[in-house]
Structure 1
Amino acid sequence: MTTADLATDRFSVVLREATREEHERTESSRFVAELLDGKLDRRAYVALLEQSYLFYSVLEEAGDRWRGDEIVGPFVSDALLRRGALEADLSWLSGSRWRDGLVTLPATQRYIDRLREVCFTSRGAFVAHHYTRYLGDLSGGQIIRSKLRSIYGLTRDGVRFYLFDEIPKPKVFKDGYRELLDSTPWAAGERTTLLGEANEAFRLNRGVFDDLSAGC
């Protein structure tokens, strides 16, 4: 990826292409494959939601920090927030005291540490993590929801994490998000930071999948 590429291409396209390899590696991880093939029991799914709750809590805390920012504040949308949905799913699946048994996996701790290190001070890093999580939820997450409902006999309860009631047309929302990536007046170096951190986000996420797989 050259400087000329960054200057002339739509940044949303540059970002997608620059992260394609890491994205595909993460999607094809063993844990994801076995979960969606119905080879893991419900406890594995609950473990995924537990770890997700931990890092989404930090990411959404960072979102609150940037909410009023004139540059990246427009990326912060309440319609995307997942922490409440994760709490509802975990309460339904594990009972009201689900937090009592919550254990942070080593890879999740590394993920959280990275979020705290970069997402509260760097606009580009914050958007990188925001992009990799939420656009994934609105895209492949919907396929995952359909499969999990079938595998584990769920309806809305238990898969609220994948439901975006305030986004009736995900494609329209995603198109708007990509247009925002293209039109944001990034400062010098912020695009490069965003590209690098987005790939790091996928690697961190894959690490969580690896830890989850090892525990199954």
Structure 2
Amino acid sequence: MTIVSSPTELTKPLLSALLREGSTAEHRDAEGSSFMTELLAGRVSREGYAVYLSCLRRVYAALEEGAAASLATDPIASAVIDPRLDRLAAIDADLEFWGGPVAHVSPATDAYVSRIQRAAAWGGTFVAHHYTRYLGDLSGGQAIGRLLAREFDLDGAGVAFYAFPEIPKPKPYKDAYRERLDALPLDAAEQQRVLAEVKGVFGLNGALFSELSAQLPSWRRRDLT
């Protein structure tokens, strides 16, 4: 007996391409923050960067200690969960270098963490968060680490967050990650649901950067004046 695929199955796009192309505008908006521009130019103080890392720590704790722990055997989320990507220990090492965790009131971080916690209700929405953070860390994050090391004359210290010692070749890893995305058992409607969450994640990142950008005047490096 011949099995004929439905029109929906035939036209269903590759999930990796859908996520990349469908979130281009949101990705661009999130990247163009004043905070990140000033940070990469070496004009943000140690305290300002420690605040940023402290906010990120809460985000990664929600991903790695919360959602990933509860979804380790989920048929969708387990395809991307990989302890080699975990960032918490690296963030903690960097925070120690930059002066320790900072108690910082951040409504944007609160909203981000809450969204991750809700996303754990379905493996597909968790994948959206995982994809947006970790593939970004393996891509543009590598350049950010090099720029910070140069601008702050770090000689390799304080930028563990951007280093993946267990993934020496990011490109093959990212290619394999995208293949796992494309193999996920999601129909077209579920793919669109994942894309909507990815767009939402970029919006959450943008809100965090806007919040940090508003506080830039208090985080100028005094040693540059």
Tell me if the contact between 1:26 and 1:206 (Cα under 8 Å) persists in the aligned partners.
Answer: yes
Counterpart amino acid of residue 149 in structure 2:
R
Q: Aligned partners of 1:143, 1:209: CA distance in 2, in Å?
A: 18
Counterpart amino acid of residue 87 in structure 2:
R
Deviates further, 18-27 or 63-72: 63-72
Residues 87-134 of structure 1: per-residue CA shift (max 9 Å, x gap): 11101221xxx34x422411111111111122x211111000000000
Q: Aligned partners of 1:5, 1:209: CA distance in 2, in Å?
A: 39
Q: Aligned partners of 1:31, 1:6: CA distance in 2, in Å?
A: 44
- Give runs of aligned pairs for residues 37-76 of structure 1, distance below 5 A: 37-60=41-64, 61-76=66-81
Counterpart pick for 1:78 among 80, 83, 86: 83
Q: Aligned partners of 2:112, 2:81: CA distance in 1, in Å?
A: 20
Matched with 2:222 is: none
Matched with 2:111 is: 110
Aligned positions, number: 209
The structure 1 segments of at least 4 consecutive aligned residues displaced by more than 3 Å after TM superposition are 3-8
Tell me if the contact between 2:12 and 2:187 (Cα under 8 Å) persists in the aligned partners.
Answer: no
Q: Aligned partners of 1:137, 1:6: CA distance in 2, in Å?
A: 33
Matched with 1:209 is: 209
Give the superposition deviation at 1:4: 5.9
Q: Aligned partners of 2:11, 2:77: CA distance in 1, in Å?
A: 19
Residues 73-100 of structure 1: per-residue CA shift (max 9 Å, x gap): 1210011000111011101221xxx34x
CA RMSD of superposed structures (Å): 1.8
The normalised TM-score by structure 1 is 0.91
Q: Aligned partners of 1:69, 1:80: CA distance in 2, in Å?
A: 18
Deviates further, 139-148 or 188-197: 188-197
Give the superposition deviation at 1:196: 0.2
Compared CA separation, residues 34 and 6, structure 1 to 2 (3 A)? farther
Deviates further, 120-129 or 184-193: 184-193
Identity of aligned residues (%): 41
Q: Which has the larger radius of gyration?
A: 2
Matched with 1:130 is: 130
Tell me if the contact between 1:6 and 1:14 (Cα under 8 Å) persists in the aligned partners.
Answer: no
Q: Aligned partners of 2:10, 2:20: CA distance in 1, in Å?
A: 12
Q: Aligned partners of 2:161, 2:193: CA distance in 1, in Å?
A: 29
Unaligned 5+ runs, structure 1: none
Matched with 1:15 is: 19
Q: Aligned partners of 2:68, 2:74: CA distance in 1, in Å?
A: 10
Counterpart amino acid of residue 61 in structure 2:
S
Q: Aligned partners of 2:193, 2:202: CA distance in 1, in Å?
A: 14
Deviates further, 149-158 or 133-142: 149-158
Counterpart amino acid of residue 150 in structure 1:
R
